[in-house]
Amino acid sequence: MNKNVLVVGGAGYIGSHTTLALKAAGFTPVVYDDFSAGHRDACFGDYLVEGNLANTDLLVQTMQRYDIDSVIHFAALIEAGQSVVTPLPFFNNNLGGTLSLLDAMNTAGVTRLVFSSTAAVYGNGPDVARLSEDLPRAPINPYGHSKAMVETVLETCVAAHGLEAIALRYFNASGADAEGRSGERHDPETHLIPLVIQAARGQRDQIKIYGTDYDTPDGTCVRDYIHVSDLAAGHVAALTHLQRRQTAGFDAINLGTGKGQSVRQIIDVVRRVSGVDFKIEEDVRRAGDPAVLVADNQRALDVLGWQARHSDLDIIVRDAWAYATAHL
């Protein structure tokens, strides 16, 4: 079976970890990245093509040159708050870029796609303990809308183009490679765990808690944090599933732990792992922040045989702390 995989956005946070996991599983990853957000030292593919998603011709040439069998697509703008201020780049890249990629796949005769989606397609989420894939898509910001629109496009391409696609809906990606080869370094950084680590390292004056009166055990927001290495394993499982299935279709699958951790719990674990105290400032709720967002992860187990194995919060913070202190 052909093991050549095009990893679009493979020099980014989740893309780099997935490239490492693909190599360990015997695949040959070809990284395609324009380095607008990725890092050259996080490019672990067997081959590298520098290019933008909008360059359909280069994508076709790359797929043909390297005899690509499957595509994993990570290349997206991800800052939900920024998407509200400047929505057009998110639709241009996340939707328009994916249309370019699908055009290239169609031309090159590549039908298998694992798409990096997000729990943001659920919006604020209904009042349920866990969010299942059967819930309607109800995004509340342009970032979430751009991902939901791509999922709709993928569904429509199944019958028309024989597309075999899985959209993996991430919850809160976190942590770093246990061997220190890659980690989280967004610019700007907006994710909670690296922000708290920055406070512990003295790189910011304080960490803010937005809202302490939610209906949660300690009054702060609860989210589902998943180790990035578990996410990477989920992509390998999804790709393997598509290659075994060999039939057109579309599935949306959550990648999460099924357990929630609060903002205060994150802070407490960072303090314990780092051995450092730091200033906390409590502030009012941010508009649109739901109290709890946790995955129903049963479909991932049933369909992919996947479950999180490294997502204990202490492991996540330990690996993130080790990477930050060594590299940032």
Q: Would you state the torsion angle of the CA atoms of residues 196, 213, 144, 35, taken in this order, to the nearest 10 degrees? A: -10
Degrees, nearest 5: CA angle 297-234-62: 140
CA distance 131 to 139: 13
Question: If we measure between CA atoms, which residue out of 3, 67, 7 comes closest to residue 232?
Answer: 7
Q: What is the DSSP string of 173-239?
A: EE---TTSS-----SS---HHHHHHHHHTTSSS-EEEE-S-SSSTTSS-EE-EEEHHHHHHHHHHHH
Pairing of strands 47-50, 28-33: parallel
Q: Is 32 a catalytic residue?
A: no
Contact present, 94 and 136 (Cβ < 8 Å): no
Question: In which element (H, E) is residue 32 found?
Answer: strand 28-33
Q: Give which of 277, 296, 160 is closest to 224, Cα–Cα.
A: 296
Distance from the Cα of residue 117 to its chain's centroid: 7
CA distance 86 to 171: 23
The strand order across the sheet containing 222-223 reads 261-262, 222-223, 292-293
| Identified catalytic residue from 32, 143, 214, 225 | 143
Q: Nearest 5°: phi and psi at 211?
A: 100, 120
Q: Could you tell me which residues come within 8 angstroms of residue 160 by beta carbon, excluding any fewer than 6 positions away?
A: none
Annotated catalytic sites, by residue? 143
